[in-house]
Amino acid sequence: MIGAVNTVRRDGDRLVGENTDGKGFMRALGDDADIDATGVHAVVLGAGGAARAIAVELALAGAGEITVVNRSVERGEMLARLLNEQTPARADFVAWQDMYRVPEGVDLLINATSIGLYPNVDDTPELDFDSVTPGMVVCDVIPNPPNTPFLRQAAARGAATIDGLGMLVYQGAIAFKMWTGYDAPVEVMRRALAAEFGE
């Protein structure tokens, strides 16, 4: 485990720290959107806890290249270094100073910052949305509200989009299974969150 701990599981008489955020993201990507991370070039906006968890799981799932884009240079460089040193993926870091243009050849673009989270629902990452193309899959970690301006702008450019609700449901379901040994009622959880946060 090379991310921040957000749950624990029992292994014999030991308690093991786990992080389910990245695993939850991967399930939303694979189970809901049927996307295989093998060989993809992903751009991760952010280098905090969520970004780190997602980038690590993408790398362990076989992503070829991961570009970390972050405002704080130290945090961004640290994440790119961790990916290069501890996973098979190639990683680079871009300091986020002004309007970021997504490079050609990117398959997956993920907003893993806190931009757009309630109550700042109109905020959107500083991005040149004309660099978003129809072949891309664009994901947001923000679950509240799930239909963020970031996703709406990407959808308007023809990209497929995945919101943060699936990640939230699955990270909780994975933690539930670790705690109890039982499968979580994923569809009940999804409906409850959608009713609370909207769709």
What pairs with residue 95 in β-bridges? Answer: 70
Using the contact rule CB under 6 A, the part of the chain among 34-42, 57-65, 107-115, 129-137 near ligand NAP is 107-115
One residue of 59, 63, 127, 167 binding ligand NAP per CB under 6 A: 167
* Least distance to ligand NAP, CB of residue 21, Å: 4
Instruction: Tell me if 144 sits within 8 A of 118, measured CB to CB.
Output: yes
- The window from 35-43, 113-121, 153-161, 186-194 that contacts ligand NAP (CB under 6 A) reads 113-121
Provide the minimum distance between the beta carbon of 145 and ligand NAP in the complex, in angstroms, as a whole number.
Answer: 12
Can you name the residues that pair with 94 across neighbouring β-strands?
Answer: 69
Cα 26 from Cα 43, distance rounded (Å): 15
State the Cα angle at 109 between 95 and 1, rounded to 5°. 80
Place of tokens 């969520």: 50
User: CB–CB of 43/67 below 8 Å?
Assistant: yes
- Selected binder of ligand NAP within 40, 61, 66, 70 (CB under 6 A): 70
Footprint on this chain of ligand NAP (rule: CB under 6 A): 21, 24, 46-51, 70-72, 75, 96, 113-115, 117, 141-143, 164, 167-168, 171
